[in-house]
Structure formats: C-alpha cells, structure tokens
Amino acid sequence: MAVHPIDYRYGTEEMKKVWEEENKLQKMLEVEAALAKAEAELGIIPKEAAEEINRKASTKYVKLERVKEIERETKHDVVAMVKAFAEVCEGNAGEYIHFGATSNDIVDTAQSLQFKEAIAILERKLKELRDILLEKAEEHKYTVCIGRTHGQHAIPTTYGMRFALWASEIQRHIERLEQCKERICVSMITGAVGTMAALGEKGLEVHKRVGEILGLNPVLISNQVIQRDRHAEFIALLALIAQTLNKIGVTVRSMQRTEIGELEEEFDPTKQTGSSTMPHKRNPITFEQICGLSRVVKSLALAEFDNIPLWEERDLTNSSAERCIFAEACVLLDHILTLAVKGIKKLRVNIENVEKNLELTKGLIMAERIMIELAKRGMGRQTAHEVVRKCAMKAYDEKRHLKEVLLENEEVMKYLTKEELEELMNPKTYIGLAPQIVDEVIRELKNK
C-alpha cells in the first residue's frame, strides 16, 4: 500500500524512474562492470572475467528480487548485490566482481550516475520555464501595472519586467546547475579509507579509468565516501531553485486575491471545483502547491548539511538520510517545476483589473514623477519632495485625487501648467526604460 505522497500524488514518472530501486541497482551494476573493465585493461583481473561481468551487468540478469532476498540474510545491500551478480556470471567470473573496491565506491559512484540523469531532466525543464517567461515578458512588455513595495502602491512598472526578472533568476539557476554538475557527478574507486591499498600501485589508474568509462570526473581525494559538501551544495541548489518557484507562486497568489485580481491561474469552469462548500471559489491551487512543496525541498537541504561532518573516514549516519533526501528533493523539485511550466504558460493577465488598480490611489503613485519634474525645473529636490509629500498626504486624508490638490498648490503651479500636470499624471508614460530592459533580458537569455 502506498504511504508517501510521491508514490501516488506528486512527481513525474520520468524523474521517479531515476530514483526507483531498479535503476539504482542498474547503476551499481554499471559501476561494477566499469571497475572490472578497467582492472582487466590494467592486467589486474582476467580479460575473460571482465567481459562476462560486463555482459551480465544488467537487471535483465541480476534481479532486484534476488538481491533483496540475499540482503534479508546478509543485512548488507552491496554484499547482496555482489552475491546476486556473481550467481549469474558463468565460470569463475563472479569471483572478480568488486575486486579492490569498498561498498561506497559503488554506491556513491552509482548515485553520481543518477544525479547526472536527474540534472538532465531539471536542466531541460528550467530552460523550458525560462523560455516561457521570456515569451510572457515579450507579450507584456507594455502592460503597465502598479509596482508595490512593502505591499503598498509604489510607482508604475510592467508585467514584462516581472516576467523578465523571473526569467533572469531561472537562468542563474541553470548556470549554477551546470557548475554544480562538475562537482556532484563524480566517481570514486579508492577503497576502504581512500588510500587505494587493495589495488596496489595501479590503484590511481583504476580510479581514473573507471571515471572515464562512466563519463564522470574522478575525485581528487576521498576517504570511504565522496565528501558530502558536494551533495550538500547540490541539495542546497535544489532548495534555492524551489525558493524561486515559491517567490513566483507567492506573487501569482497575491495578484489573484479577489480585491486585486490582476492574475489568474488556469481554471476550467465546466469541470473544476474550488471548494466542497463554496461553489463560487476559483483558488490558485497550482501555485499554492508549488509554495507548499518548496518548503519540503528547503528542509531537505538542512538535513544534507548534517551529512557533511561524518566521523573520521566515515560513519553510516548519512546513508539512511540520503535514501530519503536525494530522491525526495529531485522528485519534488521536478514536480513543482512541471507545475510552474504549465502554470505560467496558462497564466491569465486581467488587463481590466490591472488598469483599475493603477488608478486606485487617485494619482498618488505619480508623486515621485511630479517631485522629480519640479526639481528639474528649479525648485530643488529636497524642497520639491516636501511640497509634494504634503500634497500627497492631504490628498490621502481628504480622499481626493492628487492632481486636484496639486492644482491648488501655488508653489507647484509656479513651475507647471495645468496641461503639463495633466500629462505628468499619466501612469502609462512613467515606466522609465522598462521596455528596453525587457528587450535586453530577452536578447541576453534567448537561445542560451
């Protein structure tokens, strides 16, 4: 019976396959095969034995059920794998499996192969999300909306700016993932405490050759495990990506508030139900799920940090935790990335509400522009700020339009005509270089 929501509710089949037991076993067999091949090339084991080991290095021959059956007796997963592998090899080839290696040479290197597969999926989806955000930025380059600081109306910006900002952040994650890949997708054949003693003088050659065969970077030095600062960096990066998705989700949810109503996630009114008791509800459930699961991914980073300080050459405290951490972090991040791609693609911008909200403060959002223009015309920046501030506070208290109060102010009208003031109060003409900035982001990130 399924217990964890990953089993029945969250995650794509594509990412789940990376972390399922069958694939983990397959990757361990591939590492053992690469080790045998390298050792045969260097004259450590017979060539015929290595060839047989490589022929049988597949779950087609080494069955997961048999490995588990042996593990119930040995209480050791790698020993169980080696024994099950040896059983299917003809002749005495099975005697040469795992020669000179320790368990974590196989486990950690196999995990690196899983990381490589997982990263390829995440990279593809991050690039897809970035490109969708760039399309939205282009589409809404001139969609003027109110900018908010401290949750309060500030000055106008554009939805193009918001989408471009998110795309730029996603691009940084793509670059971070590319850099991190070099440090997390590594191999290790260094023996019980990292000295390669069991392999003798050819140990370093075996270590490097296995990495070449598997397409992984061999570590420069290890003890019994690949050092967990690498893994902590990777999980921390997944948490960082999750928090960007959280940030996007928070904005979408906030902008979908009934009293704001500028954004709305996809909703099928013919079938979808928002509440078991309130028939009218249209809730931002997709982005709420993104925000909620991002917290779980973030929490996994903290757990992986605790796996860095193992006792001396290593202890086993990382192993049990990482069986949960690696799969959960990758599956959940992939899941919310998939939701984000679909959610942003189908996101609706309600132009009517966007424009209504621009006028909500009755011109107060144009106070900065008036202040700057007065300063340009000779009033002095500090004086202009104070004059406009008093007018803004009066307009706010009296619930009047800022333009009306400014027209009554003699100091202001010494520098501006009524027509000029009218023009300056138009929020759609006060977006600075927003369109050019969006264009620059699109040029910089497109086709990366």
Residue whose pair of structure tokens reads 């406009």 in the numeric block: 388
Do 246 and 369 reside in the same domain of the chain? no
Residue whose pair of structure tokens reads 């107060």 in the numeric block: 364
Q: Please tell me the total number of residues recorded for the chain in this structure.
A: 448
SS3 223: coil
- In terms of Cβ atoms closer than 10 Å to its own Cβ (0-12, 13-18, 19+), residue 209 is buried
Active site residue 150: yes
**Is 157 a residue whose pLDDT tops 90?**
yes
Contact 422, 390 (CB under 8 A): no
Range of the domain at 387: 361-429
Backbone angles phi, psi at 314, to 5 degrees: 155, 160
Do 418 and 314 reside in the same domain of the chain? no
83 lies in a domain?
yes
Say which amino acid occupies 282: R
Give the mean pLDDT of 156-171: 98
Do 211 and 227 reside in the same domain of the chain? yes
Catalytic residue among 4, 76, 275, 299: 275
**Is 31 a residue whose pLDDT tops 90?**
yes
Q: 137-150, pLDDT tens digit by residue? A: 999 999 999 999 99
Q: 68-104, pLDDT tens digit by residue? A: 999 999 999 999 999 999 999 999 999 999 999 999 9
434 vs 431: CA distance, rounded Å: 6
Do 292 and 369 reside in the same domain of the chain? no
Q: 326-358, pLDDT tens digit by residue? A: 999 999 999 999 999 999 999 999 999 999 999
Do 307 and 335 reside in the same domain of the chain? yes
Record the tokens describing residue 40, joined without a space: 């045969």
Domain boundary among 355, 377, 408: 355
Percent of the chain with pLDDT over 70: 100
99 vs 95: CA distance, rounded Å: 8
Looking at every residue in the chain, the average pLDDT score rounds to 96
440 lies in a domain?
no
pTM over 0.85: yes
Do 246 and 224 reside in the same domain of the chain? yes
- In terms of Cβ atoms closer than 10 Å to its own Cβ (0-12, 13-18, 19+), residue 213 is middle
Q: What is the pLDDT of residue 130?
A: 98
Q: 100-123, pLDDT tens digit by residue? A: 999 999 999 999 999 999 999 999
64 vs 272: CA distance, rounded Å: 42
Do 365 and 251 reside in the same domain of the chain? no
Q: What is the pLDDT of residue 8?
A: 87
Q: 223-251, pLDDT tens digit by residue? A: 999 999 999 999 999 999 999 999 999 99
407 lies in a domain?
yes
Do 301 and 393 reside in the same domain of the chain? no
Beta pairing class for 217-218 and 186-187: parallel
Do 289 and 419 reside in the same domain of the chain? no
**Which residues, other chains included, contact 341 with Cβ-Cβ below 8 Å and sequence gap of 6+?**
125, 128, 129, 132
Do 343 and 393 reside in the same domain of the chain? no
Do 184 and 230 reside in the same domain of the chain? yes
Torsion of CA 32, 35, 40, 46, to 10 degrees: -30
- Closest among 161, 163, 288, 297 to 241, alpha carbons compared: 297
Domain harbouring 246, CATH code: 1.20.200.10
Do 351 and 365 reside in the same domain of the chain? no
Q: 173-228, pLDDT tens digit by residue? A: 999 999 999 999 999 999 999 999 999 999 999 999 999 999 999 999 999 999 99
* Res. 1 pLDDT band, cuts 50 70 90: confident
SS3 349: strand
Q: What is the pLDDT of residue 91?
A: 94
Q: 291-320, pLDDT tens digit by residue? A: 999 999 999 999 999 999 999 999 998 999
Q: 370-395, pLDDT tens digit by residue? A: 999 999 999 999 999 999 999 999 99
Domain harbouring 388, CATH code: 1.10.40.30
436 lies in a domain?
no
Using alpha carbons only, what angle is made at residue 347 by residues 359 and 266, rounded to the nearest 5 degrees?
115
Residue whose pair of structure tokens reads 């007065």 in the numeric block: 374
Query: How many structural domains does the chain have?
Result: 2
- 273 vs 360, higher pLDDT: 360
434 lies in a domain?
no
Catalytic residue among 150, 276, 280, 320: 150
Q: What is the pLDDT of residue 281?
A: 85
